[in-house]
Amino acid sequence: MANKNDPGFLRATPVLRSADYPRSRAHYVDTLGFTVVEEGGDPPRFGIFERGRSVIFIDAWRGPPEPFDGWVAYLHVTDLDALHAELTRSGATITRATEKTVYGMREFEIRDPDGNVICFGEDTE
């Protein structure tokens, strides 16, 4: 139930840490199909990347991510099979094959060069 005093959240943007910004930039653009919206630093060490309505920040200012065995981002898509085929062709590291979940989603996971795990999911209902 909506609260009439809710401040109106619009979206959330994951901030992924990177040890090597140029490598991450190439991965998100060339392998995952994102576009660069904006970069910061000279040379750049921070970037805003967008694909469709999904936005990811890549931050190399703070160094590599801490080891973590879970998702750092969950991106909702409308054609999971087409995305899976595209990312397979582009050489993405798919770490979990597509599967249907008990909570009504179909999902697969990838791992970026810094070890960040991103899950892509499609609603099955």
* pLDDT value at residue 3: 67
Per-residue pLDDT of 44-63, as tens digits, reads 999 999 999 999 999 999 88
Residue-range definition of the domain harbouring residue 98? 15-123
Residue 59 lies in a domain: yes
What region does 114 belong to: left with phi over 0, alpha with psi -120 to 50, or beta?
alpha
Distance CA 79, CA 107 (A): 11
Percent of the chain's residues with pLDDT above 70: 97
Residue 106 lies in a domain: yes
Residue 41 lies in a domain: yes
Residue 53 lies in a domain: yes
CATH of the domain at 67: 3.10.180.10
Residue 97 lies in a domain: yes
pLDDT above 60 for 1: no
Residue 8 lies in a domain: no
Total domains in the fold of the chain: 1
* pLDDT value at residue 82: 97
Kindly report the pTM of this predicted structure. Answer: 0.89
Residue 7 lies in a domain: no
Residue 102 lies in a domain: yes
Percent of the chain's residues with pLDDT above 90: 83
